[in-house]
Amino acid sequence: MNPQAPDEPTGSAEPTGSAEPTGSAEPTGSAGPAGSTGSAEVGIVMGSDSDLATMRAAAEALQEFGIAHEIRVVSAHRAPRDMIEYGTHAHERGLRVIIAGAGGAAHLPGMLAAATPLPVIGVPVPLAHLDGMDSLLSIVQMPAGVPVATVGVGNARNAGLLAMRILAAGDPERTAAMLSFQQGLLDASRAKDARVRAETDPA
């Protein structure tokens, strides 16, 4: 486990750590009922394979911390029964957090939150129109009683990091890993300060 804080902690699509991947980097299925990859703690679910380019950053963040995960396409609109099946049984299969991303009329995160007792993190995927505002509002405006923790538009990396924090609560080893990651952010920010001061110092 060797997470490294990137210069830009949000929205990066590139891997920033060298930890051994423990989860699949590819979708494990595009149809059919929920399957299991065994020890996955986090389920990364998206409405279409076109979301993968955005959602991959969540998987990469989890990989940096050595957190096992699965990646699935389970469309709320095109495969609604599969979606309910996935949400209903996710906790029974050992999942502890669900990260759900969708674009446009993005009902997947909210509907999964309705079907599961697990915490759900929503990722608004920006599409070609409306700059992702449609996705954002579809995901964030949940009715009272059915929470979805929504990250910024396209910011699947933060979803992965938030899932890590949820799993780290009460776990000293994972908490230490998160503190180390945050130290990396601090170091990177101070290095930026030093560079800017060196470039702009009139003396």
Nearer to ligand RP5, 102 or 164 (CB): 102
Nearer to ligand RP5, 37 or 48 (CB): 48
Least distance from ligand RP5 to the Cβ atom of residue 94, Å: 25
Nearer to ligand RP5, 106 or 163 (CB): 106
3-state secondary structure of 139: helix
Indicate the residue type of 19.
A
What is the distance between the alpha carbons of residues 7 and 10, in angstroms, rounded to a whole number? 9
Q: Which residues bind ligand RP5 (CB under 6 A)?
A: 46-48, 50-51, 75, 77, 102-104, 125, 127
Q: Which residue's CB comes closest to ligand RP5?
A: 47
Least distance from ligand RP5 to the Cβ atom of residue 107, Å: 8
Backbone angles phi, psi at 74, to 5 degrees: -140, 95
Least distance from ligand RP5 to the Cβ atom of residue 158, Å: 18
End-to-end CA distance of the chain: 43
What is the distance between the alpha carbons of residues 94 and 42, in angstroms, rounded to a whole number? 9
Least distance from ligand RP5 to the Cβ atom of residue 104, Å: 5
Q: Answer for the pair 62, 164: CB distance below 8 angstroms, yes or no.
A: yes
Report the Cα 127 to chain-centroid distance in Å. 18
Is beta strand 97-103 parallel, antiparallel or unpaired with respect to 120-125?
A: parallel
Nearer to ligand RP5, 66 or 101 (CB): 101
Least distance from ligand RP5 to the Cβ atom of residue 61, Å: 20
Nearer to ligand RP5, 77 or 93 (CB): 77
